[in-house]
Chain A
Amino acid sequence: MLPPDSAELADLAARWRSAYVHIPFCRRRCPYCDFAVVAPGDPGTGDIEQLTTRYLSGLHAEIDMESDWEPLAALNLGGGTPSAVGAGAIAAVIDHLESRFGLEPGAEISVEVNPEDVTEEFVEGLAEAGVNRVSVGVQSFDDEVLRSLGRAHTAARAVAALEVCLDRFSTGLDLIFGTPGESLESWRATVATGVSLYPHHLSAYALTVEPGTVLGRAVREGAVAPDPDDQADKYELLQDAVGEAGLVQYEISNYARPGHTCRYNLSTWGQGEYLAFGLGAHGHRDGVRRRNVRSVTAYLERVEAGARPEAGRDITADPEMERLILGMRRTCGVDLGDREEAAEQDPGLQRLVAAGVVELSRGRLHVVQPLLADDVGATVLSLSA
């Protein structure tokens, strides 16, 4: 078994084909979230159940519009809240994708779930549908923090959900740190609880203020913003603690026990190709990056008329550069290829080397301080072939 942070595994992942399916429905809109989400009370939404039914048929129609491809190594259902539509709907989507494109043996079938949706029955349904991986949107084990994040569950509910999932699936624990009001002690306790549950996978993201969200507006109007230094402290605390659970870092924000890396994620950072279905979904096929419309009305109009719900396409101008800036996010680093010489001579990159932020060795670039990855990325972008 290849370790999570091995370059060989990363290279393998680059060749995997996957599919991403977006389920936008949520019971409420979290104040920080800027995904394509449909929540009750959104203008023009009407009856949510009716809309969900329409959306799911639209989704199936969209899957039918995609031209044939190779069998998939990974399926990822994300959201929104995929668990909100129930195991039956999830099973139907998985079946459809399998019959359209086929699945590789041992394919990863992953679903994002919210703790409040996890019941024995639901988990049973997922397992029957072939799901073998879940990531649980816990965010924090502190009820106070959960409230300020606008989440619907409690810490106790999250623990119970994880316990159920851990028995059945390769289970990922998703956390958010650096929420204003979250103390270092609160985070320390969250990490301790997380580690003690011994998850297969851990994602921990620093809370980011996105424009156009409730949080974004609040901060613009003077509310306390997440403090980068506080987030750095919490990141370091996490780095020191994950080892206890046997978790190995393989990307800036992702840790896994051997054999439990997320295939879909790893493939994305390796510039792999993936199909995308659903609202606001982003795909990458035959060298073209495309994105779907973000409005549910527009989406339904298009797919119901038999048209692709595409909002735009990007043809990567410099695929080699894209490979570098994606790949450098991984712990195994990235092969510099024909930019090796440029990297060694670049004064900006040399400053980063001198400051101990990156290492250049044997033609690879490693970001040693992942928290400064964007600084590195911006510098790498200036390297010419």
Chain B
Amino acid sequence: MTDAARIRNFCIIAHIDHGKSTLADRLLEATGAVEARHMRAQHLDTMDIERERGITIKANSVSIRYTGPGGEDYLLNLIDTPGHVDFSYEVSRSLAACEGAVLLVDASQGIEAQTLANAYLAIDSGLEIIPVINKIDLPAADPERVAHELVGILGGSAAEIIAVSAKTGEGIAELLDAIVEKLPPPEGDPELPTRALVFDSYYDTYRGVVCHVRVVDGSLETGSAVRFSATGVTASADEIGMQLPAAMPVKKLNNGEVGYLITGIKEIDLIRVGDTVTTVGGGATEALPGYSEPRPMVYSGIFPTDGDDFERLRDALDKLRLNDSSLVYRAETSRALGFGFRAGFLGLLHMEIVRERLEREYDLDLVTTAPSVGYEARTADGSTVAVSSPQDLPDRAELESIAEPFVKVMIITPSDYVGTVMELVQHKRGEMGEMTYLSPTRVELHYLMPLAEIVFDFFDQLKSRTKGYASMDYEPAAYRISDLVRVDVLLNNLSVDAFSTIVHRDKAYEYGRRMATRLRELIPRQLFDVPIQAAIGGRVIARETIKAKRKDVTAKCYGGDITRKRKLLEKQKEGKKRMKMVGAVEVPQEAFISALRIDE
């Protein structure tokens, strides 16, 4: 046990690529927590996708023993946080487990929107901030400019900013000293009923759900009975331990300490991030603040390319959910794509990660439909229907209005691009809010925008219009009624559900036109003319025709080369196998996939 006065709980707030994982590696190495020879890059990121993309998805924590400048022993708990907007709730819970944050900014890039959003979140949560400029070894580094920016945002003076190179190790010792000197020790009362914050949980095949906790008040003891406030589940604290970074069981975690808790509970749903752990006898009556249920922001259909894989897909989703309670899904049947699921995600990155994990870890070949947001349909009788798929939309006769989620968007961009960013946002139905100059060359812009416009291709467009310099972050605002319509796409007079979408009326024509043109290019000519129509209700807004195929024969059997002819036909036959029948029309699987691709 460590005296709470000798504990420092902190996290690192950084933009992707600004060197958070490298800095964490360097801290582990500098304090001898991990021997250099056991060091591997991105020590804390354990998932393949995290290592490959250099991002953190799951929060993690590690406890580091450190001897301070005065020779005293400290316990530094580094609580890793996800860096992406999709996981802002998880970020907020990680921050809640800390007293301080290292705000890490790349010396050549300057602060980015997500970092700034998280920094504001940390300041609002009362955390002490240590500003750090990283990558000072790079030729393009401009620490003075970045320091100026940080002072503008955080106040204070440039002298308080620590310059480091996580790569070379320069400045690391200074940073460690600052962590013990500047960050406050945890508060909390050892005598009060136990309250521990769950800031992360994951499923382990052998041990069940493992959760990472920060004890706020009281203590957690091995073998004691514990209760999870939000779900009301009780269990026995089978094992309590610390990550050093290897797991080491301890008897007890006291107020201020960070560690893991294993209870034998197998369902991740029962142990949720943000929940409070207390003891069963004499436990706390009031949970820690800030808990909320995970709420999907983005929905998409997931279908196996091969219909026979439906059960495998179900198993894979069930397994992913063991580790990711924010993933929700229900079975969905599509005339075009067969049996699959409608899944809800925290955001676009979350969606992409889930899809990638399904394909990579479970070897599935998938078709995913264009992402949509959750709408609220109001019907004539005054009731509200949640619409997560265009198919859920009530009949036009009953439909009163449709509301869509709006989000508060923050964009940081070099001032040269303000014009083009404004133009883009306007095109995406955004409403201008505040505008602040972070420095003479960088601007922070605030907007209110429909989430649907963001999930489409906003981020890519923002990046391409600003040559990659702009960054953005968003948070949910409110639902608002908009002039939204459902556009259906009909192939040979049959509606293809996978292509139905809910869009703003002003964008309906553009969508219909694009889908019809695309499908005409993607669907091979058939034995008869095939009309393609885009329609709102009964009204056709775009039309194309795939002309009947007239020639499908290769010249001859060259010099008696029958084998080649046969191979050619075999290939064509395989192509036919991959066709899905939509009514009498043969549509290649790839056509669905390509048509649903957002890029242009």
Q: How far is the CB of A64 from chain B (nearest CB, A)?
A: 21
Question: A309 within 8 Å of B by Cβ?
Answer: no
Question: B36 within 8 Å of A by Cβ?
Answer: no
Cα A269 to Cα B563 in complex, Å, equals 13
Instruction: List A219-274 residues whose CB lies under 8 Å from chain B.
Output: 228-229, 231-232, 235, 252-253, 268-269, 274
Instruction: List A257-304 residues whose CB lies under 8 Å from chain B.
Output: 268-269, 274, 276, 280-284, 289, 291
CB contacts (< 8 Å) of A381 on chain B: these are 569-570, 573
Q: How far is the CB of B195 from chain A (nearest CB, A)?
A: 66
Q: How far is the CB of B568 from chain A (nearest CB, A)?
A: 7
Contact-size category for B: 20 to 34
Given A229-B550, A229-B551, A372-B553, answer yes or no on A377-B569 (Cβ-Cβ < 8 Å).
Answer: yes
Question: A144 within 8 Å of B by Cβ?
Answer: no
A206 touches B555 (CB 8 A): yes
CB contacts (< 8 Å) of A115 on chain B: these are none
Q: How far is the CB of B82 from chain A (nearest CB, A)?
A: 45
Out of A34, A78, A252, A269, which one reaches B553, CB within 8 Å?
A252
Q: How far is the CB of B527 from chain A (nearest CB, A)?
A: 4
Question: A124 within 8 Å of B by Cβ?
Answer: no
Given A348-B576, A378-B576, answer yes or no on A372-B559 (Cβ-Cβ < 8 Å).
Answer: no
A379 touches B576 (CB 8 A): yes
Residues of A in contact, count (CB < 8 Å): 46
Question: A2 within 8 Å of B by Cβ?
Answer: no
Contact with B along A341-385 (1 / 0, CB 8 A): 000000010011001010000000000001111110111011000
CB contacts (< 8 Å) of B562 on chain A: these are 268, 282, 284, 289, 322, 326
Question: A314 within 8 Å of B by Cβ?
Answer: yes
Question: B556 within 8 Å of A by Cβ?
Answer: yes
CB contacts (< 8 Å) of A372 on chain B: these are 527, 549-553
B557 touches A268 (CB 8 A): yes
B558 touches A274 (CB 8 A): no
CB contacts (< 8 Å) of B527 on chain A: these are 351-352, 355, 357, 372, 375
CB contacts (< 8 Å) of A325 on chain B: these are 565-566, 569
Q: How far is the CB of A47 from chain B (nearest CB, A)?
A: 26
Question: A35 within 8 Å of B by Cβ?
Answer: yes
CB contacts (< 8 Å) of B561 on chain A: these are 282, 291
CB contacts (< 8 Å) of A206 on chain B: these are 551, 553, 555
Greatest chain B CB density within 10 A among A274, A280, A291, A374 is at: A374
B550 touches A232 (CB 8 A): yes
Given A325-B566, A352-B527, A378-B569, answer yes or no on A280-B559 (Cβ-Cβ < 8 Å).
Answer: yes
For the A-B complex with A291-B561, A373-B553, A382-B577 known, give 15 more contacts whose Cβ atoms are closer than 8 Å: A20-B559, A22-B559, A206-B555, A228-B550, A228-B551, A231-B551, A253-B555, A274-B560, A284-B562, A291-B563, A322-B562, A371-B550, A371-B551, A372-B527, A374-B552
The 26 sampled A-B contact pairs (Cβ below 8 Å) are A208-B554, A228-B549, A228-B551, A228-B552, A231-B551, A235-B551, A252-B553, A268-B560, A274-B560, A282-B563, A284-B562, A289-B562, A325-B569, A355-B527, A372-B549, A372-B552, A374-B554, A374-B572, A375-B527, A375-B572, A378-B576, A379-B573, A379-B576, A381-B573, A382-B573, A382-B577
State the A residues within 8 Å of B (CB): 20, 22, 34-35, 78, 205-206, 208, 228-229, 231-232, 235, 252-253, 268-269, 274, 276, 280-284, 289, 291, 314, 322, 325-326, 348, 351-352, 355, 357, 370-375, 377-379, 381-382
